[in-house]
Amino acid sequence: MRDIMGMMGKVKEMQAKMEQMQAEIAELTAEGKAGGGLVTVIISGKGELKSLKIDPSLFKEDDVEILEDLIVAAHKDAKDKAEALAAEKTKALTAGLPIPPGFKLPF
């Protein structure tokens, strides 16, 4: 019976740490660039677009498709970086727990 109570305490502690980690991840920002820095995107840890900077040299009528592609590429770059930061925080939180490989947190 003591083992169950101890386990329940650890579950509550883990849940509190997970909530804190999710709040920290939401506060993170990641910067993505495309076109050698012609387009820069900053997103939150939740993937929300916070900032978009476009080099004025891209504002030409015939470059619209290139600009659109660069914006998408910069957003993907930022999103990949934000996901990597979140994965690092999750890994640090779950260190030492018997979690199966490939298991994603938070649920």
Each residue's pLDDT tens digit, 54-106:
888 888 777 778 888 889 999 999 989 988 888 887 777 766 665 555 655 55
Please write the tens of the pLDDT for every residue from 30-46: 999 999 999 999 998 88
> Would you list the domain boundaries of the chain?
1-94
pLDDT attached to residue 100: 59
pLDDT value for 105:
54
Level-2 CATH architecture, domain 1-94: 2-Layer Sandwich (3.30)
Burial class for 6, CB neighbours closer than 10 Å (0-12, 13-18, 19+): exposed
Cβ–Cβ under 8 Å, residues 32 and 78: yes
Predicted TM-score (pTM) of the model is 0.62
